């Protein structure tokens, strides 16, 4: 099966090993937020008498006050925040030739795949060929109470699971492998040889020490993977990332620090 070439769309070699200087220059993880951030975040997190009222949308995802407030300290991020943030990353990568194109499934994808099988998600990619993307994101609400993150990297030929807490359940990886095999046969009319693929739980990754930050970790894993970088954040800076994500969603972009 033909895979995307191992390079960025600008023609430069795509690699995963980068120096600490390169990482700090590209990600600027603790750079000050824009001057209007405090006001924007204050508006986002302000209590509302209509918490379910739609404020705006990002792609097909409606954003309400209750969604934005799930980004406050000690709150677990909800589906709309996870889905919309993944879409912002996809948009950023589409518009920036330094990065690989990303396709993101929504948070219901794996639940449907696991409970109902491939047939229930077969049409989800009717308008998109996932094999034409460099990276595929699959955010998963594991057992309804914990966010984890799976990536399919078409360039590296890998399926990896990032879990900020448990990092134990290999069944999810097998589900995704089976899905990818079925998708290749269905859409490409040929099998997929996994002999040289890396299919693994990522052991060296930032981890959480509470029960509420898993969604933030999932989104930050996605940020790093989308840039071709190893996760370079820590649990000590979760508050910063909650604010950064809130600002990004309110402004409908993740590129303000890039």
Tell me if 48 is assigned to some domain. Answer: yes
Q: How many domains does the chain have?
A: 1
**Catalytically annotated residues:** 146, 163, 214
CB 236 within 8 A of CB 257: no
3-class DSSP state of 55: strand
Q: What is the CATH number of the domain that holds 253?
A: 3.40.395.10
Give the residue numbers spanning the domain of 105.
Answer: 35-257
Provide the greatest CA pair distance for the chain: 56
How high is the pLDDT of residue 32? 86
Q: Render each residue's pLDDT in the chain as its tens digit; 258 residues.
A: 444 543 333 333 333 333 333 333 344 456 789 999 999 999 999 999 899 999 999 999 999 999 999 999 999 999 999 999 999 999 999 999 999 999 999 999 999 999 999 999 999 999 999 999 999 999 999 988 899 999 999 999 999 999 988 756 678 999 999 999 999 999 888 888 999 999 999 888 878 889 899 999 999 999 999 999 888 888 888 999 999 999 999 999 877 654
Tell me if 23 is assigned to some domain. Answer: no
- The beta-carbon contacts of 115-120 under 8 Å, at least 24 apart in sequence, are 118/178, 118/179, 118/182, 118/183
Residue 79 CB contacts under 8 Å (≥ 6 apart), including other chains: 106, 107, 108, 141
Tell me if 198 is assigned to some domain. Answer: yes
Tell me if 153 is assigned to some domain. Answer: yes
Tell me if 29 is assigned to some domain. Answer: no
Tokens in use for 46? 């302000």
Cα–Cα dist 59/62, whole Å: 8
Residue 38 CB contacts under 8 Å (≥ 6 apart), including other chains: none
CB 146 within 8 A of CB 216: no
How high is the pLDDT of residue 91? 95
Tell me if 134 is assigned to some domain. Answer: yes
Cα–Cα dist 182/251, whole Å: 38
Residue 34 CB contacts under 8 Å (≥ 6 apart), including other chains: 247, 256
Tell me if 1 is assigned to some domain. Answer: no
Give the end-to-end CA distance of the chain in Å, rounded to a whole number.
34
Tell me if 12 is assigned to some domain. Answer: no
Give the predicted TM-score (pTM) of the model: 0.86
């Amino acid at each position: 099966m033909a895979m995307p070439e191992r390079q960025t769309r600008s023609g430069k070699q795509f690699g995963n090993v980068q120096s600490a200087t390169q990482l700090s220059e590209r990600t600027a993880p603790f750079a000050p937020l824009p001057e209007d951030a405090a006001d924007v975040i204050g508006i986002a997190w302000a209590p509302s008498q209509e918490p379910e009222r739609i404020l705006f949308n990002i792609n097909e995802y409606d954003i309400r006050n209750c969604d934005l407030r799930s980004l406050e300290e000690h709150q677990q991020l909800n589906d709309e925040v996870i889905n919309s943030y993944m879409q912002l990353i996809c948009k950023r990568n589409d518009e920036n030739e330094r990065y690989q194109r990303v396709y993101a499934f929504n948070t219901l994808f794996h639940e449907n795949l696991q409970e109902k099988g491939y047939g229930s998600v077969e049409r989800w990619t009717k308008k998109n060929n996932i094999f034409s993307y460099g990276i595929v994101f699959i955010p998963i609400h594991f057992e309804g109470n914990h966010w984890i993150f799976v990536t399919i990297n078409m360039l590296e030929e890998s399926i990896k699971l990032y879990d900020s807490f448990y990092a134990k359940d290999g069944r999810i990886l097998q589900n995704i492998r089976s899905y990818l095999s079925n998708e290749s046969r269905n859409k490409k009319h040929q099998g997929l040889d996994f002999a040289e693929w890396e299919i693994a739980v990522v052991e060296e990754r930032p981890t959480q020490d509470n029960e509420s930050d898993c969604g933030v970790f999932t989104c930050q894993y996605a940020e790093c993977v989308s840039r071709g970088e190893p996760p370079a954040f820590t649990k000590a800076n979760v508050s910063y990332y909650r604010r950064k994500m809130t600002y990004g969603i309110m402004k409908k972009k993740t590129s303000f620090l890039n």
